[in-house]
Amino acid sequence: MGQKIKNFFKENWKFLGVLLAIILIFRIELPYKVYTPGGMVDLSKRVSVESGYTHDGVLGMSYVSVIRGSAPFLLLSYLISDWDIVPESEITYANESFEETFEADKILTQQSIDGAIISAYHEANKEVSIEKEIVHVTHIDENAQTELKLFDIILSVEGTSIKNTMELKQIVSTHHEGDKIKMKILRDNEEKEVESTIYNLNDEPKVGVVLSVTYEYEENPKAVIKMKDSESGPSGGLMMALAIYNSLSEEDITKGNIVMGTGTIDTLGNVGEIGGVRYKLIGAVKKKAKVFLVPAENYEEAVAVKNEKNYDIQIIAVKTLKEALEALEKL
């Protein structure tokens, strides 16, 4: 048996060598990603509201497809239009790995889901009450002098509970460079007290962290938004809010059309800027969407892509969930 194996390798070493080389070429990942046009997440398959309404139209969440940076895909990006190479350094912070950035984006996804449900229920005049704000550390500046770690949950700062980044800024603004402030945090389900040293950036006192807030809340009727483990980021918030609202509404806000879009959303229904609008618009056109909703900050870029490619699609800029609903009412 051993001799047969030796003979097999001896007779086929060239083939096996080429096969091994091909496997290595595909498996070795370089510090790049390839951005490509995405598609549509049909939110009727992701959003459910207890005793909610179903409609004929489609509300679709646009996305960017991100391919790992192995050599074959990098080479393909030179041959396929709208495939672009992006250095990982442009999509991650200098002191964080791609995996850490992805995990932070998962928190932003939950923040977006919470914002979508809460804002949609407010807009539809349905029962919803926020019970608790959970403040997560989702980025730490490389210049920060802090004992905080990524994904800590901040309970209080200098004995004061905080609900968002603005409240942290207000506390920090009363201190000077070199001052130390104490924070109570939750890390791995254990309460701890940590310390941060204030430093100045552009003449402003800073701790050097970015915070994201998720919520515990009660809504009636109950709503659920399901996301896949591979999906992350906050840019689906607007479309999720519209899908929730549509499930709460007897009238179909799409009027039977395919409506796609992108944009973050907060609990007050404010729509925020996103990245990758080019790839998302291309994906929406491929899915034959009639309307593409974008944050006002991304409108000019979206129109430029539409004109460049001579697309037949209506692009609507919105600043709030209310504006999006008013625009769809005019279809």
Q: Where are the domains of the chain?
A: 27-126+221-329, 131-213
> What is the reported pLDDT for 9?
47
DSSP string of 68-123, one letter each residue:
EEEHHHHHHTTTSTT-EEEEGGGTS-TTS-HHHHHHHHHHHHHHHHHHHHHHHHHH
Q: Are 271 and 71 in contact (CB under 8 A)?
A: no
> Rounded to an integer, what distance in angstroms lies between the CA atom of residue 164 and that of residue 157?
12
How far is it, in rounded angstroms, from Cα 271 to Cα 265? Answer: 5
- Measured between alpha carbons, how far is 128 from 219 in angstroms, rounded to an integer? 4
Q: Helix and strand tally (H, E) in the chain?
A: 8, 19
How many of the other CB atoms lie within 10 Å of CB of 239? 27
Q: What distances in angstroms separate CA 40 from CA 21, 30, 101, 308, one per listed residue? A: 36, 28, 23, 22
Which helix (H) or strand (E) element contains residue 217?
strand 209-220
Answer whether CATH 1.10.4160.10 is correct for domain 131-213. no
SS3 for 256-278, per residue? CCEEEECCEECCCCEEECCCCHH
Pick the CATH number of 27-126+221-329 from 1.10.10.920, 3.10.20.340, 3.30.230.10, 3.30.70.1520: 3.30.230.10
Secondary structure (3-state) at 227: coil
What's the pTM value of the predicted model, to 2 decimals? 0.86
Residue 229 has a pLDDT of 87
pLDDT in tens, the chain (331 residues): 555 555 554 555 455 455 555 555 556 666 778 888 989 999 999 999 999 999 999 999 999 988 776 766 767 767 778 888 788 777 667 678 878 888 999 999 999 999 999 999 999 999 999 999 999 999 998 889 999 999 999 999 999 998 888 898 899 999 999 999 999 999 999 999 999 999 998 888 999 999 999 999 999 999 999 998 888 889 999 999 999 999 999 999 999 999 999 999 999 999 999 999 999 999 999 999 999 999 999 999 999 999 999 999 999 999 999 999 999 999 8
Q: How many CA within 13 A on the CB side of residue 250?
A: 0
